[in-house]
Amino acid sequence: MGHVSVAEAIRQETLMDDEDINVTVLDFVEYITPNMADSIYRSFAFFVKHSSDLYNKVNLLADRHTMVPFKSMIEKRIKEMIDEYQPDIIVTTFPSCGKYIGHYKADYHDDIQLYTYITDITLHDEWVASNTDLYFVGGDSTKEALVQRGVLAEDIKVVGIPVKQAFKQATQTIAPPENATQKQILLMGGGLGLIRGIDELIAELLQNPNVALTVIAGNNHELYEKLSTEYPNVRCVGYTTKVNEYMRQADMIITKPGGITMFEAINCETPLLILPPFLLQEIGNARFIEDEKIGVVAWEDDQIVPQAQQLINDDQFLTEIKAKMAHLKAQHYDVSPVTAFRKEEEQRCQNI
């Protein structure tokens, strides 16, 4: 869901550059394996939720070995995709897509431009692919990691992780919370609503009479029904396209350290309290948050509530975090794939 969100953000950014550009957002897995995509996604969600340790081990294994299964079959589907859409640029926002398209470029002698947006701060080998023309990354540390793997510095753009335009604009269409005089905490678990020990967490947070709580359950319908029934004094939200507005209403966000969520919060300038990370890419994102001083990380479950209480009651610290978020946001610049493409074309013409 996060990768699709980044793709939509890039589409919006591109159309702001030039509304006549034709942009298609395509689910690579669904296109390549239309009859298996739902099963693949359900299996992945179950894998992450119930076997995070195994997920990390598989990621480490993939990082040590170049694996491109079913290459010939998938390359044929890529050829069909390119013949159908006739793109000038292919942009990838999901690990491994670039590897397959890079191999396709080599095997089919196609010089189509391939751009990869890396949606986490930590670099994983699945993101690195031969025949990639440009990488767009969230931070300088990601750029340095790419350079160490042999990518030329001039082929890397540090742009932050793309977020939809709504997160860059202060709009307000949702009603304010009834208890607006209290400190507002927004609790999010990602699109799947994965929040471990949520009952205990909510109960402890609500012991503070100065705190009001909003929970975004995403597509986790079971969680939404449970919270709506058992916690009438908690504002519970299911899937919503207005996360940006809930973020701007909040004094603090408690969430998983996903790369997209992290940069959405940065753009809304809402301080972060990070739930204990357990996936490798989340650990890297959490360290970035600590290094940039844009939030606090609870590395253990028993740290969550004490750190939440300390942060939400420290107005000076919250103000400092907001200032650091604004500074970090100002360091990145908007550059759509089309802008980059035109600059590269201009440079090539000058070299000729």
8 A C-beta contact, residue 197 and residue 229: no
C-alpha closest to that of 161 among 255, 277, 289? 289
Does a structural domain hold residue 312? yes
DSSP 80: H
Give me the mean pLDDT over the 19-39 stretch: 86
Q: Determine the pLDDT at residue 324.
A: 97
Q: Determine the pLDDT at residue 46.
A: 65
8 A C-beta contact, residue 244 and residue 164: yes
> Domain tally for the chain?
2
DSSP 165: G
Higher pLDDT, 265 or 39: 265
Expressed as residue numbers, the domain containing 254 is 171-331
State the average pLDDT for the chain: 88
Which whole-number Å values give the CA distances from 350 to 112, 134, 343, 347, in the listed order? 20, 19, 11, 5
Which whole-number Å values give the CA distances from 305 to 138, 185, 243, 302, 308, in the listed order? 29, 12, 23, 7, 5
Least confident range from 68-72, 116-120, 183-187, 252-256: namely 68-72
Does a structural domain hold residue 348? no
Q: Which of 129, 160, 191 is the last residue of a domain?
A: 160
Does a structural domain hold residue 342? no
Least confident range from 108-112, 153-157, 225-229: namely 225-229
Give me the mean pLDDT over the 14-43 stretch: 84
C-alpha closest to that of 254 among 327, 290, 305, 300? 305
CATH number (domain holding residue 78)? 3.40.50
C-alpha closest to that of 14 among 112, 91, 101? 91
Q: Determine the pLDDT at residue 57.
A: 64
154 and 175 inside one domain: no
8 A C-beta contact, residue 293 and residue 191: no
Decide: residue 43, CB within 10 A, 0-12 exposed, 13-18 middle, 19+ buried: exposed
Q: Determine the pLDDT at residue 226.
A: 86
Does a structural domain hold residue 349? no
8 A C-beta contact, residue 270 and residue 249: no
8 and 139 inside one domain: yes
195 and 139 inside one domain: no
Query: Does pLDDT of 281 surpass 90?
Result: no
Looking up tokens 């990768």, which residue turns up?
3
Q: What is the pTM of this model?
A: 0.85
Q: Which long-range contacts (CB under 8 A, 24 or more apart) does 100-103 make?
A: 100/68, 100/71, 100/74, 100/75, 101/129, 101/131, 102/129, 102/130, 102/131, 102/132, 103/68, 103/71, 103/75, 103/129, 103/130, 103/131
Q: Determine the pLDDT at residue 65.
A: 54
184 and 325 inside one domain: yes
Q: Determine the pLDDT at residue 60.
A: 58
Which whole-number Å values give the CA distances from 158 to 130, 140, 209, in the listed order? 20, 7, 42
Q: Determine the pLDDT at residue 318.
A: 97
Query: Does pLDDT of 32 surpass 80?
Result: yes
Q: Determine the pLDDT at residue 56.
A: 58
Angle between helices 221-230 and 198-205 (to 10 degrees): 40
Q: Determine the pLDDT at residue 12.
A: 94
Does a structural domain hold residue 336? no
Handedness of CA 336, 279, 295, 195 (dihedral sign): positive
Does a structural domain hold residue 345? no
Higher pLDDT, 41 or 311: 311
Angle at alpha carbon of residue 275, lines to 139 and 194, rounded to 5°: 105
In tens, the pLDDT along 33-89 reads: 888 767 767 776 666 666 666 665 665 555 555 667 788 999 999 999 999 999 999
Q: Determine the pLDDT at residue 50.
A: 62
137 and 176 inside one domain: no
Query: Does pLDDT of 105 surpass 70?
Result: yes
Q: Report the distance separating Cα 197 and Cα 187, nearest Å.
A: 13
CATH number (domain holding residue 311)? 3.40.50.2000
Among the ranges 53-67, 199-213, 314-328, which has the highest mean pLDDT value?
314-328
155 and 10 inside one domain: yes
178 and 141 inside one domain: no
156 and 176 inside one domain: no
Query: Does pLDDT of 121 surpass 80?
Result: yes
189 and 323 inside one domain: yes
Give me the mean pLDDT over the 167-190 stretch: 86
249 pLDDT band, cuts 50/70/90, is: very high
